[in-house]
Amino acid sequence: MDRRQLLKQGTMAAAAFAFSRDLFAREVERNFIAPDIIADVIKLSSNENPHGPSPKARKAMMEMVNRSNRYPWEITTQLREKIAAKYDLTKDHITVGAGSSELLGVVSLMAALQKGNAVAPDPTFRLWMPAARNVGLPIKLVPLTESKETDLQRMKDSMDSDTKMVYICNPGNPTSNIIPANELELFIKDIAPKCIILLDEAYTEFSDEPTMAKLVNDYPNLVIAKTFSKIYGMAGARAGFALAHPTTIQKMNSLQPWANAGISSVTLAGAIASLDDQEFVTHCKKENEKAKNIFYAALNKAGMPYLQSHTSFVYFNTAPFGKDVRKLLEENNIIGCRTFEDGSTWRRLSIGTTEEMKKVAEALTA
């Protein structure tokens, strides 16, 4: 083989390597390959908690494996009672599912059965939307304000006599903005007499704003969806819950083939133990803030504006950076920089550990 052939082969091999690495990163991102088994890939795509599950939850889950030959009735009730105590409600105000996504699906099915439409901000958390549309619930999407806040007034204006559900995610995803509690409360009081309000509080624990749980007794149309996937670090274990008036919980349960049976006993044990581990929650919140500050400093240095985050992710504008941020991060084995608005320069990145965010910062500011 002469030198030219050798060079050509070398270039082709390099291109194939770059291509396969890119492909590999995308495969990892789509969860076809577990990222944890690849030591040098930092996965920042799905707002998972990089610290969890809590040590207490791990222990409880391992112990429960031995008892997982039994159906989980008693332990489900225990979890519902524990959640109820935390939010000053009764177990009849609580239903659980395999992740809050399951319950977002149940509530949209409940709305679809009323034959009408739903109103939701855009962009927002969209996972539940295709199934909702497929069961007959068209969704009117309402753009955020110019400063990327949920436009409550415009959402109200978009409602018509056929609107059966309004979806709000607070703090918002992908923006991580928060609607102040007093404004949200007024909105709920205004809308709840008219239709279902599905309030997704997946990230409230990362913020300093309160849950709206205290309103569920007075407003049967209000359903609050919450999850063990974020602050409790159990995304893969699949556990979520909804808080609502008991009559609404009963309606939701009637739409589940086997109500309150979605979570395995192993996961239920972990969820119960998580609720007992406030120390771990405080630790995760603090670490998230520290890691976020590292990322903010890097964004400031790189000249990229961002929204103040009330969650475990940051929404930032890559326009002034001049380079393709996603590509740059992927070249540094950091995956998950995603866009949620067609043609936009805004991107979302989940917050990892402080060590991981230092690597992000190095990649962006080198």
Ligand X SMILES: Cc1ncc(COP(=O)(O)O)c(C=O)c1O
DSSP SS3 for 101 = helix
- Decide if residue 287 touches ligand X (CB under 6 A): no
- Decide if residue 35 touches ligand X (CB under 6 A): no
Closest distance of CB 231 from ligand X, Å: 11
Give the max Cα distance, the chain. 82
Closest distance of CB 207 from ligand X, Å: 13
Give 36 or 40: the residue with its C-beta nearer to ligand X. Answer: 36
> Half-sphere exposure of 149 toward its Cβ, with a 13 Å CA cutoff?
10
Reference 83, options 216, 196, 258, 236; nearest CA is 216
- Supply the DSSP string of 115-167, one letter for each residue: -SEEEEEESS--TTHHHHHHTT--EEEEE--TTS---HHHHHHH--TTEEEEE
Dihedral of alpha carbons 282, 51, 76, 192, sign: positive
Q: What residues form DSSP beta bridges with 314? A: 349
Q: Which of 202, 242, 269, 299 binds ligand X (CB under 6 A)?
A: 202
**End-to-end alpha carbon distance in the chain:** 39
Two tokens, residue 166: 């309004």
Closest distance of CB 14 from ligand X, Å: 36
Q: Which of 95, 204, 221, 227 binds ligand X (CB under 6 A)?
A: 227
- Decide if residue 229 touches ligand X (CB under 6 A): yes
Closest distance of CB 4 from ligand X, Å: 51
Shortest-Cβ-distance residue relative to ligand X: 99
Q: Which of 50, 105, 240, 270 binds ligand X (CB under 6 A)?
A: 240
Closest distance of CB 316 from ligand X, Å: 17
Give 99 or 123: the residue with its C-beta nearer to ligand X. Answer: 99
Task: Name, in order, each residue with C-beta under 8 angstroms of 211's C-beta and a sequence gap of 6 or more.
Answer: 87, 201, 204, 224, 226
Give 53 or 99: the residue with its C-beta nearer to ligand X. Answer: 99
Distance set, CA 197 to CA 25, 122, 189 (Å): 38, 16, 10
Choose one: 98-106, 248-256, 296-304, 343-351; the region binding ligand X (CB under 6 A).
98-106
Choose one: 93-101, 137-145, 279-287, 295-303; the region binding ligand X (CB under 6 A).
93-101
Residues within window 111-170 making contact with ligand X, judged by CB under 6 A? 125, 169
- Rounded to whole angstroms, the Cα distance separating 197 from 155 reads 12
> Residue 53: is it exposed, middle or buried by C-beta count within 10 angstroms (0-12/13-18/19+)?
buried
Give 188 or 363: the residue with its C-beta nearer to ligand X. Answer: 188
Choose one: 2-10, 97-105, 156-164, 296-304; the region binding ligand X (CB under 6 A).
97-105
Closest distance of CB 174 from ligand X, Å: 8
- Decide if residue 277 touches ligand X (CB under 6 A): no
Using an 8 Å Cβ cutoff, are 233 and 285 in contact? no
- Decide if residue 100 touches ligand X (CB under 6 A): yes
Q: Is the bond preceding 174 in cis, omega lying within 30 degrees of 0?
A: yes
Give 99 or 336: the residue with its C-beta nearer to ligand X. Answer: 99
- Decide if residue 213 touches ligand X (CB under 6 A): no
Choose one: 95-103, 159-167, 259-267, 290-298; the region binding ligand X (CB under 6 A).
95-103
- Decide if residue 200 touches ligand X (CB under 6 A): yes
- Decide if residue 101 touches ligand X (CB under 6 A): yes
- Decide if residue 105 touches ligand X (CB under 6 A): no
- Rounded to whole angstroms, the Cα distance separating 249 from 37 reads 40
Using an 8 Å Cβ cutoff, are 144 and 151 in contact? yes
Closest distance of CB 229 from ligand X, Å: 3
Residues within window 39-58 making contact with ligand X, judged by CB under 6 A? 46-47
Q: Which residues bind ligand X (CB under 6 A)?
A: 46-47, 99-101, 125, 169, 173, 200, 202, 227, 229, 235, 240
